[in-house]
Structure 1
């Protein structure tokens, strides 16, 4: 009997989810189905064919990877019992997803070189003749394969068995070993990799850094979320290890088990909606000044024992002295997250309070003036047909925070303003805070000022400098030189939906197989 059109459409949508690895996140700490609690028995026929002891053929459970160590020229054997009452077979012929990671391997393996081999088949005779099975390889520490259950074995009352063998190549080093993980699922990829970083540096000072993930969701209701239960984990490596994962850069377990200096348990982690969507942020302290580091973000699927995804790393460097201090999560200037001129004897918490309260005090008069503007009135009486007083208030707040809380650095780059002691942007900084070190100021972006002129009532008389020479006195612009050339406080616009995160998995085989199965439904 042919499937209904609705069933086919459902299969298409679900398959696309698998083929590109798109995960729709209902909440940041979503839960994965980790198995059916199947009773796996070692296939007696396969054991007899190989003359193996039962402990030499290991049974795999749904979405439950296992780790093993293998020596050069060695073979290891696994089996997986297909649950024919669940999984993708509900829509069409059963598909089994195989993935693996190499956690450690001999140093002689070069980048992009094949390391371990994987054979898999539903024919137990494969263990005697590997040409009967499909061949997959580990490259860059990652393996993926796709097995479809033979139609003749797809009876609803019969469990098919997938046989898997892992082979290590022969090396001149007879003591060489590999540590690897392998996982099987009827529903999803146990291990994944992504060609994006999915995390970025916000700013640093001389001994700390603030790092955020990409946008997780558009919801701002995050006060009850616990960051310690997040699926994301961050690892900080010394820059000396920048080439350490050249041959394992797609391996989740390699990054997780490498010689990291710091990991998530060492950081202060929380959530923020500073940039318009929910992000997880990591405050990394205890760093050395004027030092480069490598940061890796990974995603753990239901804990650290059930697979995960690894993202591309990124580099960052701390400042070379204590002239600046990194602050974030201010009460009033909530979008401020960068280093500011430091004050000796004042810790970061007190410093951010002093900056924040000064900006809030200066905002009071503007707020009172704005109340005199026609906002909630007839369309003919409002100051703008497309902008509101709320828009104006937010723009003014962003501008005020950026000019009263200067962004500080110790690096000399084009557009930065050198500030000596006693010659800061405002008398509040010079007379109340009194920084003891010279520093460079990253000037506010001129478009922050221009936005007020454009979207606030003309009655306020806001004006911005118009020529490059006058702009450079108090503002700067985005120079497009690969560094932060001006300080922008406010929402960063994005064309990507906050509710969807795409894992860009190298999985072209799925598209071919899926097309074949859909066509079979109409034959």
Structure 2
């Protein structure tokens, strides 16, 4: 048996120590699971694709993979810019030459839709059920995404001529990328991986389909002719544009004005009958629209003409828009052609002889506004042009008791009826006079056998109700004439009261206006149609938009011959008493109730088979009204 080598004392001590160390290591390994640290755990900058490092997983590999993916997504989002939530607008300043980035993340693109609210009354169509679930539809077609922008503030011009087009600041530019390879779209990014949307009048909209994150860039131009910053509002939605614009429709019409006020109306809101629920809902609701107005001398406002928040910042005048100190009047009405619901705006604080822009607008989506609301950023319509009068002897009137369809400027005397306090008294004078004249007519109509057999009726086509309607329309139009500036040179206007002095005491100069003695001596041009105008109001010289011929013809055709109504003949007084409708829808060349600029031509009503009959009036006091 071989003998073991004899160890020296030093070797014996080393062997004992080694055996003890090995024993302790075995005990440790049997009781614990060791963790080995590598450099990758200590330095997160080393990419996970570095295969030179060996990984020992303490956790589920799938869970670790998800965590790494989330970390990478957060890092990418930080590079792309702040995240936008659905229908949640963000407002920020941007400097000249700066580009800012945003991201509409994938979880929002594929997230839950917002709610729109009850909305406006409408003639609702029957909704059809759709069997395809939204999630399956998204999987196949992606999600419709809307990215909208409103410019709320813009730099000011260095030029001194504020009325020139040079005063309009340059526009922002919006860039949109649907590719993860371009997470910071902008002027320096690859144009093939992004879409460029030029902001127009402070408004931009991107509409497209996406199934992952959408990246947005907003860039301010470099300019040396403007100073300051832009401020804009950007929003993303999977429901509808957060900011709205109707660029090819104004839905707003100019009715008439005087030298400090204007009356505007919307189009009809419904074609429903007056006894329907929808009709009553429209008439009883709070006015849903507002109006911005701005003098056309301030051309800088054109830089934000399509932006709700921009108009709220720069418009000088508004009606039914929160945040304005001096609110103008807005209300629902059914006055006008067709008798359908519409909204009207009485705008004051205007300058004489000035051109204005008027923009219809809606706060939010008519139900609610602000973040979290579908369409909560407001909507703007295309602007219209309108002009105030120059002289002060025409006053805008509307909402009369008897002649309820009258809504236009009438002859006035500002010394007797001050513009801001005397209009109700002026309106009462005109209205009560017309109502009294109608009562005389009504006494005569009561003598006609209206409720009788068809063989005894005066007409099988018209009845006494038609006669009463036609007479009231005609009476209100002729006793309350539509007034225009005497300085207005439109050929369809009739001069009135040429022999009277102006309100300021001056008189007409023959040379200045090219007048003849014949005009001064003629009854038609040296007096008003309604005697109380010359006797009580005394407005001085003005011009009249003559009543339309068809009002007189309709009266003659609708009433029994026994009442003796007749219209003057052509060449024998017709042209001095009545005007003709224009084929140009932008002109009101004759007066009729419910007339509004850009509506009048389309709504012209000509009565077929018209016949002019010279008859004797039934009451002498009415003769000069014809």
Q: Give the alignment's TM-score, normalised by structure 1.
A: 0.73
Gap regions ≥5 residues in structure 2? 1-69, 115-132, 158-164, 371-375, 501-525, 604-626
**Correspondent of 1:205 among 258, 262, 271:** 258
CA distance change for structure 1 residues 383 and 223 in 2, over 3 Å: closer, same or farther? farther
Aligned twin of 2:308: 252
**Correspondent of 1:171 among 222, 229, 249:** 222
CA distance change for structure 1 residues 337 and 248 in 2, over 3 Å: closer, same or farther? same
**Correspondent of 2:329 among 268, 285, 295:** 268
Asked if residue 89 in structure 1 is aligned to residue 134 in structure 2, the reply is yes
Asked if residue 235 in structure 1 is aligned to residue 260 in structure 2, the reply is no
- Distance, in Å, in 2 between the alignment partners of 1:91 and 1:213 is 42
1:231 touches 1:301 (CA, 8 Å); kept in 2? no
**Correspondent of 1:284 among 321, 330, 347:** 347
Compute the displacement of 1:119 (Å): 1.7
Compute the displacement of 1:325 (Å): 1.4
* Structure 1 range deviating more: 211-220 or 403-412: 211-220
- Distance, in Å, in 2 between the alignment partners of 1:468 and 1:309 is 52
* Structure 1 range deviating more: 470-479 or 112-121: 112-121
Compute the displacement of 1:475 (Å): 1.2
Q: Secondary structure at the match of 1:57?
A: coil
2:184 touches 2:215 (CA, 8 Å); kept in 1? no
**Correspondent of 1:457 among 560, 564, 587:** 560
Compute the displacement of 1:113 (Å): 8.1
Give the alignment of 1:479-494 within 5 angstroms: 479-480=582-583, 482-490=586-594
CA distance change for structure 1 residues 355 and 365 in 2, over 3 Å: closer, same or farther? same
- Distance, in Å, in 1 between the alignment partners of 2:154 and 2:570 is 59
Asked if residue 315 in structure 1 is aligned to residue 315 in structure 2, the reply is no
Asked if residue 217 in structure 1 is aligned to residue 217 in structure 2, the reply is no
Compute the displacement of 1:332 (Å): 0.6
Aligned twin of 2:104: 79
1:269 touches 1:281 (CA, 8 Å); kept in 2? yes
1:101 touches 1:142 (CA, 8 Å); kept in 2? yes
Asked if residue 189 in structure 1 is aligned to residue 241 in structure 2, the reply is yes
1:238 touches 1:261 (CA, 8 Å); kept in 2? no
Asked if residue 139 in structure 1 is aligned to residue 199 in structure 2, the reply is yes
Q: Secondary structure at the match of 2:386?
A: strand
Question: What per-residue deviation string (whole Å, max 9, x for no partner) do you get for residues 181-238 of structure 1?
Answer: 22223232222233222212211112221111222234564797464xx332212212
Compute the displacement of 1:442 (Å): 1.6
CA distance change for structure 1 residues 415 and 165 in 2, over 3 Å: closer, same or farther? closer
1:49 touches 1:128 (CA, 8 Å); kept in 2? no
Compute the displacement of 1:248 (Å): 4.2
Q: Secondary structure at the match of 1:274?
A: coil
Question: What per-residue deviation string (whole Å, max 9, x for no partner) do you get for residues 345-384 of structure 1?
Answer: 3310011111111111111132233344454454444444
Q: Secondary structure at the match of 2:382?
A: coil
1:295 touches 1:315 (CA, 8 Å); kept in 2? yes
- Distance, in Å, in 2 between the alignment partners of 1:287 and 1:211 is 13
Gap regions ≥5 residues in structure 1? 1-42, 151-160, 497-523
1:46 touches 1:127 (CA, 8 Å); kept in 2? no
CA distance change for structure 1 residues 128 and 405 in 2, over 3 Å: closer, same or farther? closer
Aligned twin of 1:116: 173
2:319 touches 2:329 (CA, 8 Å); kept in 1? no
Q: Give the alignment's TM-score, normalised by structure 2.
A: 0.62
Greater relative contact order: 1 or 2 (C-alpha under 8 angstroms, separation 6 or more)? Answer: 1
CA distance change for structure 1 residues 178 and 453 in 2, over 3 Å: closer, same or farther? same
1:398 touches 1:490 (CA, 8 Å); kept in 2? no
- Distance, in Å, in 2 between the alignment partners of 1:318 and 1:170 is 37
CA distance change for structure 1 residues 118 and 385 in 2, over 3 Å: closer, same or farther? farther
1:296 touches 1:313 (CA, 8 Å); kept in 2? yes
1:60 touches 1:66 (CA, 8 Å); kept in 2? no
Aligned twin of 1:357: 432
- Distance, in Å, in 2 between the alignment partners of 1:464 and 1:91 is 71
Higher normalized strand content (fraction of residues): 1
CA distance change for structure 1 residues 425 and 127 in 2, over 3 Å: closer, same or farther? same
Aligned twin of 1:13: none
2:290 touches 2:330 (CA, 8 Å); kept in 1? no
Aligned twin of 1:296: 359
- Distance, in Å, in 2 between the alignment partners of 1:114 and 1:430 is 55
CA distance change for structure 1 residues 475 and 66 in 2, over 3 Å: closer, same or farther? same
Aligned twin of 1:414: 491
1:476 touches 1:485 (CA, 8 Å); kept in 2? yes
- Distance, in Å, in 1 between the alignment partners of 2:565 and 2:456 is 21
2:588 touches 2:600 (CA, 8 Å); kept in 1? no
Q: Secondary structure at the match of 1:60?
A: coil
Q: How many residues align?
A: 436
Compute the displacement of 1:137 (Å): 0.9
Question: What per-residue deviation string (whole Å, max 9, x for no partner) do you get for residues 67-89 of structure 1?
Answer: 22233242221325135565893
Give the alignment of 1:486-505 within 5 angstroms: 486-490=590-594
Aligned twin of 2:12: none
CA RMSD of aligned residues (A): 3.5
Which entry has the higher C-alpha Rg, 1 or 2? 2
